[in-house]
Structure 1
Amino acid sequence: MTTHTALIVDDEPDIRDLLEITLTRMGIKTLTAADLAGAYKLLEQNTPQLCLTDMNLPDGSGIELVQWIQKNQPSMPVAVITAYGNMDTAIESLKAGAFDFVSKPVELSRLRELVSSALRLSDPDPDIDNGTDEPGLLLGNSTQIKTLRNQTRKLARSQAPVFINGESGSGKELVARMIHLQGPRSKGSFVAVNCGAIPSELMESEFFGHKKGSFTGAVENKDGLFRSANGGTLFLDEVADLPLAMQVKLLRAIQEKAVRPVGDTKEIPVDIRLLSATHKNLAELVQEGRFRQDLFYRINVIELAVPPLRERTDDIALLANHILERIAHEYECAAATLTKDAVTRLKEHNFPGNVRELENILERAFTLCDAEKISASDLHLGNGLGTDDARCAITAIANPALVPEGNIDLEGYLESIERQAIEKALEATRWNKTAAAKRLGISFRALRYRLKKLGME
């Protein structure tokens, strides 16, 4: 069993003793110093797996030590000890590269959690991060994507809140997942939530949970998103869509590291890594008074920009082939490939919807193309409706008697027409899919796709 060593730097003997006793009971050897000079001397002679340092030292600041370790021993996580309520100092230390922080008076349960998380970085899982430029979920060979992968590896070693900024469909959630998977919380849950998809009246219950009977419809206790992510990572996508009233409650939960379920009288501690994202300009929303400045500074400790697809066109061919292989696997069909003119056409496209748009284009082309090669004309770039959607819409419009009166769900209505047509074709051909596809005037691959999409398999 590996024995870990921790360096404790604090000028208060009582605090030093408390930290030393706590870590010794955890089976960790300790080295102690009362100032920066003593810490530097010990670091020149030893290579501890963790450093705990007070922020205010007789001969300088704990941030100076954080910066020195970042430069000279970057694999060593450093946690700083701050004065109670001094959040600005804590955020400054995180920006300098600290792994995490703990406030005085030191809460021992919180300290033990922090130390355990930090030491997991010293014993990395070889399947998570081997130090090489493994693509993981972030595919591509462009300079931009390689830089992004390198940034996610560095940020994975910290507990600092990260704000991921990027256009819709650019892969912000994939970046968040990579930060989670490469960090010490990888064994915990990764909980992703779209803040714009939760009704405002249910938001507090969804985030913080509720007690049974606390309101109409609360038929049982509910943990909520924060507690579901306890020990792991909570990813708040489209955080700009949070109403102001919820922003206040979210800020308190982040600062106190605790949540109060609806209908409960006590707060419950939570241990999460917070990541957030939006395609909107949060700084502008702050100036307009639509997003709280204090929450903005709390979640935007470190900002990470995700490049749009049009800025890394060299990755399009690689991404496209990966997407086509995945689609073929999902629909149990032979994989299709792109012709040179199709790749050229994709590289010329602006992709306002980024990677998500590329996925949609290729899925549509895959289902409509009869051949194993997808050409530029099969991509249907610039068309509003795909050929299949247009066919269904024209069928419905050509027979007005089929269209129900009043407001209708167009997507659902067109799906019902498509379902009926497929059922009739299958019945007429005694469930011979090849014959049914021919009767419908589509490829066998397109029929397989529709059966899966409509849940008719």
Structure 2
Amino acid sequence: MRLLIVDDEKNIRTSIVDFFRMEGFETAEAQNGLAAQKLLVEQSFDGVVLDLRMPGMDGLTLLRWLRGEGRQIPVVMISAYGDIEDAVTAIKEGAGDYLVKPFDPTELLLRVQRTIEDHILRTRASLLNDEQRFTDTENPAMREIYALADKVAPKDATVLLTGESGTGKEVMARRIHALSRRADRPFVPINIGGVPETLVESELFGYERGAFTGAETRKRGMIETASSGTLFLDEIGDMPMQLQVKLLRVIQDRKIQRLGGTGVIPVDVRIIAATNADLEGRVADGRFREDLFYRLNVIRIHLPPLRDRPEDIPVLARHFLRVMRDRTGSQVTEIAPGALRKLQSYRFPGNVREMENMIERAVILADSETLHAADFTLPNANGTAAVQQSPPGTLKDMEREMIHTALLRHEGHRQNAAEELGISRRTLLNKIKQYKIETPRRTDAEDDQ
């Protein structure tokens, strides 16, 4: 494990570093909060031993910065001042423990180990709880899919997840990560299609100071951030060709080079990729590298659309009802049989994501403790409520209907519609052009609001 020791007193800092190294830890040290912040930006750590009071940036300020950045690294605060108020504040701000100097190094070791172990357990429990909504299934094919995912999770193999938008590919990726030996390490998702092409490389590989205009400080990329953990590459089919070569090298060599850098950085990262596109077709068209496809396609898991497993609709509906009730404080407790039958009659072109949004809307607007069929308005091709559904048509017809409905629902706001559909704005614009969909037009400024 890798620890960062932060203390402005050199003797104390050195003694802690030496002790943990003898205990088998890899360590780095910083003499103040600013130096520690720089290391935390550039490197990954499993835990931090952080002095409370230091000149410049103190321990609490650094802790608040960490949590503000969304980083849940376990932190043990230490201080020469036995102030109860300081201890309470540190714990409230997200420290896992608090120890007053002077202390026995063995006691600090126990506190650090316990804090890291608690973090690991909470992370696994949270990840598995998040994915539980998809593990309850009445569909035999889905049971086989879960069994396959659970089998490959500990194996560290590269996984390719395929399926339509909204079928739960990121949720499945998180489940695989949660059941792997990397569960206590970072899960880093990036939607390739959601990042402008000019920024994808710097987001993935990071950059050195001065690498390009505006690069005022060194920044770690997402691959480096995910080292020792899992990198989830969503919409991998949208990756620019020139970056496909670099990703292939990462998979083969387990090394990266930051933009503007000369040094090679080793990375230990598991890659899970996902796509709703036909990658084989893109390979045939020359839009996706064949060698990269085979590197990604070690284990393929295809997630079927919700319309192919209607028996799961009641299971998912009841789950989302519980989630939304807890989230909103609603008094709704059940879904009437007639409402469930109505939901099962709908083909859900937006799949599980669309169902989740539909249940949320019904719960928010409900006037009683039971959701009835009338509480669900099922959209048709022109965006109006429809009790009777039109014939299913082809998959392309359904995709066009789904896009058209989302655009109408958001009054032509393409970014919002893309987020609902689970695709990038760029992909949505291509689909609008492909299907010649007419929608209320907005200016670029309006669409960015």
Per the shorter chain, which TM-score range? 0.5 to 0.7
Paired residue for 1:319?
316
Unaligned runs of 5+ in 1: 1-25, 27-123, 394-404, 414-457
Paired residue for 2:87?
none
Shift of 1:278: 0.3
Shift of 1:410: 6.1
Q: CA RMSD in A?
A: 3.0
Paired residue for 2:354?
357
Counterpart CA distance in 2 for 1:318 and 1:183 is: 26
Counterpart CA distance in 1 for 2:444 and 2:157 is: 47
1:156-175 alignment to 2 at 5 Å?
156-175=153-172
Shift of 1:408: 7.2
Counterpart CA distance in 2 for 1:304 and 1:238 is: 15
**Residue identity opposite 1:248 in structure 2:** V
| Change over 3 Å in CA distance of 1:220–1:125 after alignment to 2 | closer
Deviations 1:52-102 (A, max 9, x none): xxxxxxxxxxxxxxxxxxxxxxxxxxxxxxxxxxxxxxxxxxxxxxxxxxx
**Residue identity opposite 1:407 in structure 2:** T
Counterpart CA distance in 2 for 1:391 and 1:201 is: 31
Paired residue for 2:237?
240
Q: Does 1:136 align with 2:136?
A: no
| Change over 3 Å in CA distance of 1:357–1:127 after alignment to 2 | closer
Unaligned runs of 5+ in 2: 1-23, 25-119, 387-406, 412-440
Shift of 1:343: 0.2
Counterpart CA distance in 2 for 1:229 and 1:127 is: 15
Paired residue for 1:301?
298
Asked whether the 8 Å contact 2:124–2:184 carries over to 1, the reply is: no
Q: Does 1:335 align with 2:371?
A: no
Shift of 1:234: 0.5
Paired residue for 1:194?
191
Asked whether the 8 Å contact 1:320–1:362 carries over to 2, the reply is: yes
Asked whether the 8 Å contact 1:137–1:178 carries over to 2, the reply is: no
1:43-82 alignment to 2 at 5 Å?
none
**Residue identity opposite 2:157 in structure 1:** A
Between the aligned residues of both structures, percent identity stands at 40
Q: Does 1:207 align with 2:243?
A: no
Counterpart CA distance in 1 for 2:330 and 2:157 is: 44
Tell me the TM-score normalised to structure 1 length.
0.56
Asked whether the 8 Å contact 1:165–1:305 carries over to 2, the reply is: yes
Give secondary structure in 1 for the equivalent of 2:212. Answer: coil
Give secondary structure in 2 for the equivalent of 1:152. Answer: helix
Counterpart CA distance in 1 for 2:363 and 2:328 is: 11
Counterpart CA distance in 2 for 1:412 and 1:346 is: 33
Paired residue for 2:248?
251
Shift of 1:236: 0.4
Tell me the TM-score normalised to structure 2 length.
0.57
Counterpart CA distance in 2 for 1:408 and 1:245 is: 28
Asked whether the 8 Å contact 2:207–2:260 carries over to 1, the reply is: yes
Give secondary structure in 2 for the equivalent of 1:136. Answer: helix
Asked whether the 8 Å contact 1:336–1:366 carries over to 2, the reply is: no
Shift of 1:386: 7.7
Asked whether the 8 Å contact 2:161–2:300 carries over to 1, the reply is: yes
Shift of 1:208: 0.6
Shift of 1:326: 1.1
Shift of 1:391: 11
**Residue identity opposite 2:370 in structure 1:** K
1:50-449 alignment to 2 at 5 Å?
136-142=132-138, 143-382=140-379, 384=383, 407=443
Counterpart CA distance in 1 for 2:280 and 2:160 is: 12
